Each structure stands twice: as structure tokens, then as C-alpha cells.
Amino acid sequence: MDRITLTGLTFYGYHGCLPEENKTGQPFYVDIVLYVDLRAAGNSDDLSKTIDYSNVYHIVREIVENHTYKLIEAVAEAIAGALLSQFPVDAVDVTVHKPQAPVGGLLQDVAVTIERSRYDDILSQPGGQCRA
């Protein structure tokens, strides 16, 4: 499957379970993988046949900077849902990094990665299996 990857998107947000995190904020980094057929774009060299990654960046930025979540898992879900609903992609991987997570010790990074498909709801329903 073809992919568009955006790595290290950098934002300042107010996500966390502690009141200080919601008040002072901290940096968050986001990695996105969009699974989409890129043949038409590659053959035509036409931006309208692909996903404009500047639009992806602005959607992710709006979610991370203008909303507050307790969990980075919720940030990742919001991003995945927005990207799946706004772009003709088959699936997305979203990784949200929280390098200043308050764990009571030194660490380089805490991150969650989720994988979501536009077919997840169909496959999770009873009888929602793909048939050949």
C-alpha cells in the first residue's frame, strides 16, 4: 500500500491528567502515516490527485493546539478520526509523542501509536467480515 508520511510535526498543547499540564502546557510531536493509492498522482503529477499534506498539518495542529485532552490516546483518536473523515485515505497511523510526560524520572519520550482504518466500524460489527 502506498503511503504519505509526515514525521515530527511539532506543537504546543495542554494535554494531561495533572492540572499543571493543562495550565502551563508542553511540546507534543506527532507522526502521521496516510495509506492511500498514489498511482493517479504519480502518473499525472497533479496535486488534486493526492493528499495535500499542508492540509493534513493544519488539521493536526488545530486538534493539538486548540483542544485539551487528558490522554494522548484521546489526542491520537481525534487526529485519526479527523483525517479519515476529511481525506480519501484507506487507513492512518498516528503517533503522539509526549517527551515531558510527568513520570517521576528521566526519560526520552512517551508515545502512543494507533492504527485506524475507514473499514474498522464495518469489520467490528457482527457479520462484518470481508468476503471474497
b/e code 28-66 from CB counts within 10 Å (16+ = b): bbbbbbbbbebeebeeeeeeeebbeeeebeebbeebbee
For residue range 64-82, list pLDDT tens digits in order.
999 999 999 999 999 999 9
**How far is residue 58's CA from residue 110's CA, in Å, rounded to a whole number?**
23
Q: What is the CATH number of the domain that holds 75?
A: 3.30.1130.10
Q: Look at the chain and report how many structural domains it folds into.
A: 1
For residue range 91-109, list pLDDT tens digits in order.
999 999 999 999 999 999 9
63, pLDDT greater than 50: yes
Q: Which pLDDT does position 120 carry in this prediction?
A: 79
C-alpha of 91 from chain center? 11
Q: Which residues are catalytically annotated?
A: 98
Residue range of the domain that includes 91? 3-124
**How far is residue 31's CA from residue 9's CA, in Å, rounded to a whole number?**
6
Q: Which pLDDT does position 121 carry in this prediction?
A: 63
Asked if residue 130 belongs to a domain, the reply is no
Asked if residue 56 belongs to a domain, the reply is yes
The cell for 5 is 508520511
For CA atoms 18, 23, 24, 26, the dihedral sign is positive
Asked if residue 77 belongs to a domain, the reply is yes
Asked if residue 55 belongs to a domain, the reply is yes
Asked if residue 9 belongs to a domain, the reply is yes
Q: Which pLDDT does position 119 carry in this prediction?
A: 85
Asked if residue 11 belongs to a domain, the reply is yes
Asked if residue 132 belongs to a domain, the reply is no
Q: Which pLDDT does position 73 carry in this prediction?
A: 98
For CA atoms 118, 72, 99, 23, the dihedral sign is positive
132, pLDDT greater than 70: no
Name which of 93, 83, 121, 112 is nearest 1 in CA terms: 93
| Rounded mean pLDDT, 54-59 | 98
- Contact at 8 Å (CB) between 17 and 47? no
Asked if residue 114 belongs to a domain, the reply is yes
46, pLDDT greater than 90: yes
Helices (H) and strands (E) in the chain, counts: 5, 4
